Structure 1
Amino acid sequence: MLAAALLTVATYAAAVELRGDHPDSYVVKRGDTLWDISARFLKKPWLWPEIWQANPQIKNPHLIYPGDVVSLAYLDRVAVQPGARSESPVNAVPLAEIEPFLKDMRIVSDISNLPYVVGLEDGHMRGISGQVVYVRGLEGVAPGQRYLVVRAEKRYRMVERAGMCCDLFQTQDLDARGRAGLDDGTLWSNAVFPSKNTEFLGYELVTQATGTVTRGEVAGIQASTLLLGAEGRDVRAGDRLLPVEAKPYDLQFFPHPPRQQADYGRLTVMSVADHDKFGGTRDVIAISGGAREGIDNGTVFSLWKRGDSVTDKVKDGLDANEDLTLSEHKVRLPDEFAGHAMVFRTFDNVSYALVMSSIKPVRIGDELKHPDAPY
């Protein structure tokens, strides 16, 4: 049986634009994603739900199969001609495609009550695969229990600036005890005195290894023994423990625009995983918003370098080596587009996103906007 599903793009012309170099037709192949297919036809592939869902004949807009033919039936119409459909449907963005680039990070509100590594086998400074480490805080835990060994690496804080351009976001690196030193973090935000408008966003924990309890606290011993698994990074005293999660990530992600638009200056890049300040395509970024801002997995943002504020030396008649520091004498320049990122893990106050594409470096302090934002 041959059934053509015609989707009217003209209705969405203001938001959905066809690529100038789109093919007349495309046969869906195994390994394709809806993002890939949509990117062949649309300038904005994250708008694929508006295309597929525009046709009421498609009961499940996510189900496109290998062998289906996607084609332009007319200048303003897209048709999906079903194939044999003997294989599983293609995914939106499957976990397997992006998992190599993801970092197993999470946000918690408190680390003071988590079990922690107090010592290592043979007095080593670092523990690796196959070695044992000793843990406090696992009283009563039976052998065989598995745990993640995580490291508290950063602490995030927001300072609300009512009536000003942008909120301030502080990222502080933590020491082996999970504490911030006096010289850590960003100076301008460290200097802000706590007030009712200062909010702690959370601690960032990075997974180092997995381990299995082999012996609990018995016979007067005050620490449990944890055997480190076959894979992972080094473990040191001060690392914390969390129960192993059965499903830390979604199996696939359905890209979509944010469900609500945050005020300018509220959503920014707070850190770039494994980098000091800059990143690019397939790097992971931490952003200053989460579930309470309506962000969920699959949310797509555009990334923008905030425009500089410069002195108009021509109008003000200044020499080349002169400058003014008062904000009223500054000219704000336009924001500069850097790329797009998709959220893959969401917590209450912080989310993690993968940079899907970039035309210039993504940096700490970049603004996150609707993916269709023109400026």
Structure 2
Amino acid sequence: MKRLSRVRWAGALIVLTLVMLGSASAQAQALSYAGLRADAPERYTVVRGDTLWDISGRFLRHPWQWPEIWQVNPQIRNPHLIYPGDIIYLEDCNGRPCLRMERGQGVVRLSPEVRRVPHREAIAPLPLEVVENFLRRHRVVDDAERLDNLAYVVGGDDQRLVSGAGDAIYVRGDLPSEGRLGIYRLGDRYQDLESGELLGIELISVGRALWLRRDGDISRLEITESNFEVRNGDLILPVEEREWAGQFLPRAPDSAISGHILAVPGGVRFIGRLQVVALDLGRRDGIQAGHVLRVEQQGELVTDPTTNELIQLPGEEAGLVMVFRTFEKVSYALVMQATRTLAVGDRVYHPDRSELLAGAP
């Protein structure tokens, strides 16, 4: 195989392929490769702080097309993980562009020493510090009935009405005797904007605790950290532990899909890049971590000067979001691009408009 010249792919190959192959499917396939940026580098060395989205954006006009031209090297252990020092390069794969990787032997050279990069330092698919901080403070319960079965705070030590880090609290209900426990408070109720269906209930993290002992159905816990004062009635759940690096790739959904920005946790009204949004799409809709969706800003409501009717103007493309946490009926996504200010109610849909139209009734 030979290395790819970006000039070659920027023009002549696409035209030639369309002429020679002729069929609609071949044309669509060839056009998909036109997503290569005209200024894509032939080689790029991954550096600390990169994300998969960043690297995709260096080579592709649409970062979610990464899986279409990413060629896994089977001889490389964990080929889906990319580390600082690895080299991503363009290559000709049987007449079409593809991306391959040279493993930098898992090292970063810091003269005069060579230090091995551990597994935990593989680059992340997106800015994980934003995601991890958010997930420490937010989660969703899919149905109201489950709330009735959760353990809850019934009192503080020495008859305290509120407690903080270092204090003991008493909790009623079933709890595991090992593992970290989270303390949560009820947040927003997520409801379908049109039908009113309950999609989930947000839980906001109040703090974390350590199980000490049990007496009947009452457990004694020690608060190890607190974001807010712990009160009677706060809920207790095991903390979710997740490994994010390498878990998913940015990609379009497998089929046409459409939904809305349901809410902005934290009460922010207007939304920009690297903010988290809740979507009215979940696992039941086929949404998975890594799915990229385009955002359409709602058109303005105006009054027709002739008929005095209230009409809504067409929406405008406004950005991209990437899903990072899914529940049954809702999901959390991170705003990766925002060309306009986004807001609750804006529509989200498959990033390829032709896919959306193909799935329309």
Matched, 1:365 2:345: yes
Alignment of 1:115-194 (within 5 A): 115-138=151-174, 146-158=180-192, 168=194
Query: In 1, are the aligned partners of 2:3 and 2:91 still within 8 Å (CA)?
Result: no
Alignment of 1:184-263 (within 5 A): 199-217=197-215, 223-230=218-225, 232-245=227-240, 247-248=241-242, 250-252=244-246, 253-263=248-258
Q: Which residue of 1 aligns with 2:40?
A: 22
Q: Deviations over 1:34-88 (max 9, x none)?
A: 3222211211011110011499999986355634252477997456463653447
Q: Which residue of 1 aligns with 2:296?
A: 304
1:249/1:303 Cα in 2 relative to 1: closer, same or farther (>3 Å)? farther
1:72/1:201 Cα in 2 relative to 1: closer, same or farther (>3 Å)? same
Q: TM-score scaled by structure 2?
A: 0.74
Structure ranking higher on relative contact order (CA contacts 8 Å, 6+ apart): 1
Q: Which residue of 1 aligns with 2:105?
A: 85
Q: Give the drift of 1:294.
A: 0.3
Please point out which of 98, 119, 140 is paired with 1:107. 140
Matched, 1:324 2:309: yes
Distance 1:19 1:99 in 2: 28
Distance 1:119 1:309 in 2: 51
Query: In 2, are the aligned partners of 1:95 and 1:250 still within 8 Å (CA)?
Result: no
Q: TM-score scaled by structure 1?
A: 0.71
Q: Give the drift of 1:272.
A: 0.8
Aligned residue type for 1:155:
R
Please point out which of 42, 47, 68 is paired with 2:87. 68
Q: Which residue of 1 aligns with 2:112?
A: none
Secondary structure of 2:40's counterpart equals coil
Q: Give the drift of 1:248.
A: 3.8
Q: Give the drift of 1:15.
A: 6.2
Matched, 1:52 2:70: yes
Q: Which runs of 5+ in 2 are unaligned?
A: 15-28, 108-116, 357-361
Of the structure 1 ranges 342-351 and 352-361, higher mean CA displacement relative to structure 2 is found in: 352-361
Secondary structure of 2:225's counterpart equals strand
Q: Which residue of 1 aligns with 2:19?
A: none
Distance 1:286 1:21 in 2: 35
Distance 2:70 2:156 in 1: 55
Query: In 2, are the aligned partners of 1:148 and 1:207 still within 8 Å (CA)?
Result: yes
Q: How many residues align?
A: 316
1:371/1:122 Cα in 2 relative to 1: closer, same or farther (>3 Å)? farther
Distance 1:55 1:146 in 2: 38
Q: Give the drift of 1:213.
A: 2.4
Aligned residue type for 1:202:
G
Matched, 1:287 2:275: no
Q: Deviations over 1:307-366 (max 9, x none)?
A: 2343331xx2x6xxxx334xxxx3x42212222111111111011111122122221111
Aligned residue type for 2:51:
T
Q: Which runs of 5+ in 1 are unaligned?
A: 159-166, 169-196
Q: Give the drift of 1:373.
A: 3.6
Please point out which of 31, 50, 61 is paired with 1:43. 61
Hey, which of these two has a bigger chunk of helix by percent? 2
Percent same amino acid among aligned pairs? 36
Distance 2:91 2:124 in 1: 21
Secondary structure of 2:237's counterpart equals strand
Q: Which residue of 2 aligns with 1:183?
A: none
